[in-house]
Amino acid sequence: MELPDFSMAHKLENVDLCDCSSLRSVHPSILSLHTLVKLDVDHCHELESLESETHLESLSDLQASGCGLKKFCLSSNKLETIYLRETRLEILDLPIGRFTKLRSLLILHGERLRSLPIKELCCLTNLTEFQVLEFKQEIHTEELRSLFYAWRNLEILCLDGWSYLSEIPGNIKCLTRLQNLSLQRSGVETLPPCVSHLSSLTGIYLFGCKRLKSILGLPPMLKALDANDCTLLETVSSDSLVFSPCWFQFKNCVKLDECSLGFIEESTHFSLTSACGTAFNYLDLARYPGNRVPKWMKYKQMTEASNTIQFMTEASNTIQFTCNLERAIGILFCCVAPHRHLRSLGQRPLVTCYITCDDIVTKSSPYNNQRLYELDSDHVFIWPRKGFPFGTRTGDDVKISCEFFLEWRDHGKMYCNHKVPLEACGVHVIYDSESEPGSGQKRKRVADIGVEDGVPPTKRLNNSWISQPAPLGLALQLGLATTKSNKSHDNFICHPLQLKFMRKKKQEDPLQLKLNINSDRYSLMLVNIY
């Protein structure tokens, strides 16, 4: 199929060639029209190139997915998006200075690309989204560094499948507007500590990074961290805290060390407890290798406090506890999915908790746990539920029972359900005083903070103390919280502050810090000392 000459069509604005499966080329006259506004060549399977030496002054809408495109060389100052999906692109040519308004560049099949035009890409200073998937050529750290300096407005960075990408340069902290960072199936080995400076970053996706060994920084407003199937991952740590409910995923990360597992446990506590102050999302969940219930889960028997949890001796998968429904604003469930059962069942089992109160029974399950059969070891699941489904009852404490099962449905026996008790499980009730953002435990809003040398707060997200030699240099990390009012945290924002200083007194002398802030709008919180 060939197109005629359109050079005399001086007012032509829209050229729709979608689904012209036999089209081999777009006539040069069309790609020379200064009036051309929209060009659609989607699913033109035989089309191999889009190239023109003419600068298209009016082109603002380009559709070129699902075609056999091998070479792209067009330019337009009005084009805001280049979206090339299901192409065989080999050459990407972006003339310098000819894409002043380009905001999104998406190439979803870049495995055949011979190279990236780094100098040309550095000129795209208005770029907010860069997605080039499956790029198989070597990329140098210096090249990425130059791109990061140029892309100060970038919000989405997706480098999935970049197998030769081994290092993320430290100047990624220049991307202060970055919201999503996706490096899935890439060759990256370390997520650097400077990631914690990206205050706008809410999603980090590292699924299938087989060379990843360490995650050394987490941003404060993180909502999703997917490190599933990072089989070499050993270390997860951060000097900053996550101030929002987060989806922590570490499926099959079987090499995580004890310190990292402890950090994940405490981060989950902090994250999901903070979520109760606002609202739970159905994605809020933690999953990581292990066979123990976190210590902060109130699963051991206590007799006096009404908000404690008691194990029943008759059935190890049942937990009974008393709860004040007027004060309780949420509940966290935890169980260990045993690998020995997951492999033997094979019918896509589900982790489920049956909650009973006053003969009312309801179910709760972690989101997206259908693929449990893919787990290579025992895994811990922790998931939240906001409030209780037991009406508006208030006043006296009520008894609640939670039963944990691994269950599946047998389609060959009239859809009969089968259940296997889960031996390791726990429940944690969250009360209004515990849900203040900024802490897994009750957050004290303080004007005076006293710090004693030798026992600084641990980097893990709790208020416990650890004993270690007093350092000569300390750094104090604070959070300046902005809220609507003193009682509402719906619009909680943490503005991280850091103060660094050196000791002047003797090492054994106690160190006293006094910090004051006088404002109805702001409150100062101690985040970390290290």
If you average pLDDT over every residue of the chain, what do you get? 76
pLDDT at 396: 65
Does residue 282 form part of some domain? no
pLDDT at 511: 47
pLDDT band, residue 107 (cuts 50/70/90):
very high
Q: Given 434, 454, 489, which residue is the final one in a domain? A: 434
Does residue 375 form part of some domain? yes
Domain identity same for 329 and 406: yes
The string of DSSP letters for 13-33 reads: -EEE-TT-TT-----TTGGG-
Beta strands 156-158 and 129-132 are: parallel
Domain identity same for 429 and 493: no
What is the chain's length? Answer: 530
Rounded Cα distance between 413 and 415, Å, is 5
Instruction: Give the domain CATH number at 378.
Output: 2.60.120
Domain identity same for 77 and 36: yes
Domain identity same for 109 and 83: yes
Q: Poorest-confidence range of 83-87, 187-191, 377-381, 501-505?
A: 501-505
Please tell me which residue, 505 or 234, carries the higher pLDDT value: 234
Rounded Cα distance between 206 and 192, Å, is 13
pLDDT at 168: 96
Domain identity same for 430 and 332: yes
Please tell me which residue, 487 or 417, carries the higher pLDDT value: 417
pLDDT at 369: 66
Number of folded domains that form the chain: 3
Domain identity same for 412 and 390: yes
* Confidence check: pLDDT of 35 > 70: yes
The token pair at 129 is 């989204």
Does residue 390 form part of some domain? yes
Domain identity same for 428 and 453: no
Q: What is the mean pLDDT of residues 38-43?
A: 93
10 Å Cβ neighbour count for 129? 20
Domain identity same for 468 and 403: no
Domain identity same for 472 and 384: no
Domain identity same for 352 and 370: yes
Q: What is the mean pLDDT of residues 263-270?
A: 87
Q: Among candidates 119, 121, 79, which has minimal Cα distance to 103?
A: 79
Domain identity same for 87 and 39: yes
Q: Given 110, 137, 164, which residue is the final one in a domain? A: 137
* pTM of structure: 0.77
Instruction: Give the domain CATH number at 52.
Output: 3.80.10
Q: Given 77, 111, 137, which residue is the final one in a domain? A: 137
Rounded Cα distance between 163 and 498, Å, is 36
Does residue 83 form part of some domain? yes
Please tell me which residue, 355 or 504, carries the higher pLDDT value: 355
Please tell me which residue, 272 or 105, carries the higher pLDDT value: 105
10 Å Cβ neighbour count for 265? 27
Give residue 373's domain range.
309-434
* Confidence check: pLDDT of 279 > 60: no
Does residue 19 form part of some domain? yes
Residues 6+ apart with CB under 8 A from 340: none
pLDDT at 138: 93
* Confidence check: pLDDT of 345 > 70: no
pLDDT at 299: 57
Beta strands in 32-98 (DSSP E): 38-40, 49-51, 61-63, 71-73, 81-84, 91-93
Does residue 120 form part of some domain? yes
Does residue 507 form part of some domain? yes
Does residue 245 form part of some domain? no
Q: What is the mean pLDDT of residues 139-154?
A: 95
Q: What is the mean pLDDT of residues 366-373?
A: 71
Q: 282-305 pLDDT, tens per residue? A: 567 889 999 889 988 875 433 333
Domain identity same for 417 and 467: no
Q: What is the mean pLDDT of residues 338-366?
A: 77
* Confidence check: pLDDT of 474 > 50: no
Please tell me which residue, 230 or 310, carries the higher pLDDT value: 230
Q: What is the mean pLDDT of residues 475-491?
A: 40
Most confident of 226-230, 283-287, 444-448: 226-230
Contact indicator for 273, 280 with CB cutoff of 8 Å: no
